[in-house]
Amino acid sequence: MNHLMIMPIVIPLLTGAFLLVMYRYNIGRQRSLSIGSTLLLVVLAVWAVLQAGVTDYTLYYLGNWQPPFGIVLVLDRLSAIMLLLTALLSLFCVLYASRGSDREGSHFHALLQFQLMGINGAFLTGDLFNLFVFFEVLLIASYALLLHGGGRARSRAGLHYVIINLAGSALFLLALGILYGLAGTLNMADLAHSIANAPETDLPLLKAASLLLMVVFGIKAALLPLLFWLPRAYSAASAPVAALFAIMTKVGFYAMVRVFLMVFGLDEGAPANDTVLAWLWPTALITLALGGIGVLGAASLRTLTAYMVIVSVGILLATLSRNDEQLLAASLFYLLHSTCMTAVFFLLADLIGRYRDDGYDRFSVISPLSHRWVLGSVFLIASVSIASLPPFSGFVSKAWILQASSRLPDYLWLWAAILISGLLIIAALSRAGSGWFWRPEEHSTARTRAIEKTQQLDHARMATVCVMIAISFALALFAQPVMDYLDAATKLIYQPSGYVDTVLGDYVSQGEEVTE
């Protein structure tokens, strides 16, 4: 058993706990501890990606209890790539926050570490109840992070966010209760085995449980009727927190992939899954359309970015609901791109807001902007990337999605929704950019030049954003190895029997010995 595997959960837990106890440390030490822990997580995630590339499934038995009795952590390519994405994203968030946003309230770094622990745990666990526990860990950390800094807008958005997620947790427990009552286990592999062999009479209850789970993950992922908390919450949160939250909707998506395609998908034909995927398809398309309209109607860059998150969720879930191996690989590539770029825009909104005289990131306010050229160019490049124009990773991912979906029935709906929402994003971003940066000379008068002299551009913050955009570019440059990796990852997801055999291997053979 390789103890490195549990480290992505243990390191942030210990760091967070230590920071909480040592709250009297000066902020510099807190920052270096937090950055150090996140750097370690990046290294670990790289190890995880390499390890998963060699062995399909790496298992870790907690307390050395064999599955299905103990909790097991499972590392495969999908979870490895999600770990790496989380680690990189959180590193940039910590670096950005260390320039001052973490002083708006207390315990920022401790909370962030707990949040990372929850996210990493959710990606690694092979047990549904454990998934619930990690969801709660990441949620309670996110409640506090959302409120970090205080203020009326945050209290209001936070209340909605907390209440809807508490209701979601209750539904999650109900679904777990039904599944346990039917199968007598909550280990994902064992559950998949039981569901595949479930008698016909259990099917209605299984469907009920899977639909409940869809609602729960839909709340996390912001699927159509459950998304109205998102724009307000994400635009109220402070910039690094909002950027970190870009991964949170993807946790919901990941859980859907794991549970619906693997746990419910072992059976030939997977009858319990059909209902969920049939519901997912139209709702995801409408989510996508609504996101597009929201992007166009947003009044500030942060709200606009929040709606871009919704657009990305719509695309991801719509492709997931088609239940196709190649399309899922394409949408995983899009997940990497969209998480990175929406995070960039949350940070960029904050960065630009700081150098505007008035109005922060609102579009309605016309106000002089210092460092117009630098900020304008970065905004342009970031917009080209998120609008999925070449030469950035968004273009590769969307082209792949379109290509992969063209073999499927009803693909025109998906094409129309993806292309129109892309067009709306381009329109909204070019309107925002031209309003802010393309003002005639009257706004860059002597006054802004005077401001520029006193108000230096924050190079560290700027560099963070630029490196993130560069990663998006690098993702396009080195698309082939990433695509191969994701292809291999989805191949594993569509062979759940391999997962079940690896996790339950000894147990099943032992059981046979006993019956003999």
Partner 1 sequence: MELLVAITLGVLTSTGVYLMLRARTFSVVLGLTLLSHGVNLFLFSMGRLTTASPAVIGLVEKYTDPLPQALVLTAIVISFSMTAFVVVLALKAAVELRSDHVDGEDPNEDRQ
The tokens describing 199, both together, are 């008698």
Least distance CB 136 / partner 1 (angstroms): 5
Least distance CB 169 / partner 1 (angstroms): 7
- Distance (Å, whole) CA 470 – CA 380: 13
177 binds partner 1 (CB under 8 A): yes
Our measurement of the distance from residue 162's CA atom to the centroid of its chain's CA atoms, rounded to an integer in Å, reads 18
Of 45-53, 139-147, 384-392, 486-494, the segment contacting partner 1 by CB under 8 A is 139-147
Q: Which is nearer to partner 1, 106 or 455 (CB)?
A: 106
3 state DSSP class of 509:
helix
- Distance (Å, whole) CA 50 – CA 77: 9
Q: Which residues neighbour 143 within 8 Å (Cβ) at sequence distance 6 or greater? A: 158, 161, 162, 165
Q: Which of 17, 27, 46, 173 binds partner 1 (CB under 8 A)?
A: 173
3 state DSSP class of 238:
coil
367 binds partner 1 (CB under 8 A): no
Least distance CB 387 / partner 1 (angstroms): 33
Q: Which of 14, 17, 18, 136 binds partner 1 (CB under 8 A)?
A: 136
163 binds partner 1 (CB under 8 A): yes
Q: Which of 99, 160, 439, 491 binds partner 1 (CB under 8 A)?
A: 160
Match 């695509």 to its residue by tokens. 483
288-318 in b/e form (b: 16+ CB < 10 A) is: bbbbbebbbebebbbbbbbbbbbbbbbbbbb
Q: Tell how many helices (H) and how many strands (E) occur in the chain.
A: 21, 2
Q: Which of 184, 225, 282, 390 binds partner 1 (CB under 8 A)?
A: 184
Which among 185, 151, 8, 25 is positioned nearest to 88, based on CA atoms? Answer: 8
Instruction: Give the max Cα distance, the chain.
Output: 90
8 binds partner 1 (CB under 8 A): no
335 neighbors 472 (Cβ within 8 angstroms): no
Q: Assign residue 368 a region: left if phi > 0, alpha if psi is -120 to 50, beta otherwise? A: beta
Least distance CB 161 / partner 1 (angstroms): 10
- Distance (Å, whole) CA 94 – CA 96: 5
63 binds partner 1 (CB under 8 A): no
E-only strand ranges, 449-500: none
Q: Which is nearer to partner 1, 56 or 136 (CB)?
A: 136
Of 108-116, 136-144, 237-245, 308-316, the segment contacting partner 1 by CB under 8 A is 136-144
Q: Which of 62, 174, 366, 488 binds partner 1 (CB under 8 A)?
A: 174
Radius of gyration of the chain from Cα atoms?
A: 23
96 neighbors 464 (Cβ within 8 angstroms): yes
The tokens describing 163, both together, are 């209440």
Q: Which is nearer to partner 1, 61 or 494 (CB)?
A: 61
Least distance CB 152 / partner 1 (angstroms): 5
Which among 354, 313, 172, 137 is positioned nearest to 230, based on CA atoms? Answer: 313
Q: Which residues neighbour 102 within 8 Å (Cβ) at sequence distance 6 or greater? A: 27, 30, 31, 108, 109, 240
167 binds partner 1 (CB under 8 A): yes
Least distance CB 164 / partner 1 (angstroms): 10
252 binds partner 1 (CB under 8 A): no
Contact flags string 84-123 toward partner 1, x per CB under 8 A: ----------------------------------------
Q: Which of 36, 70, 100, 181 binds partner 1 (CB under 8 A)?
A: 181
- Distance (Å, whole) CA 377 – CA 311: 24
Least distance CB 133 / partner 1 (angstroms): 7
Q: Which of 71, 97, 110, 162 binds partner 1 (CB under 8 A)?
A: 162
170 binds partner 1 (CB under 8 A): yes
Q: Which is nearer to partner 1, 49 or 133 (CB)?
A: 133
3 state DSSP class of 125:
strand
166 binds partner 1 (CB under 8 A): yes
Size of the site for partner 1 (CB under 8 A): 28
Q: Which is nearer to partner 1, 159 or 474 (CB)?
A: 159
Least distance CB 452 / partner 1 (angstroms): 36
49 binds partner 1 (CB under 8 A): no
Q: Which is nearer to partner 1, 169 or 275 (CB)?
A: 169
Residue 180 half-sphere exposure, CB side, CA atoms within 13 Å? 12
Q: Which of 3, 152, 201, 440 binds partner 1 (CB under 8 A)?
A: 152
507 binds partner 1 (CB under 8 A): no
Which positions lie near partner 1, rule CB under 8 A? 129, 133, 136, 140, 143, 147, 151-152, 155-156, 158-160, 162-163, 166-167, 169-170, 173-174, 176-178, 180-181, 184, 186
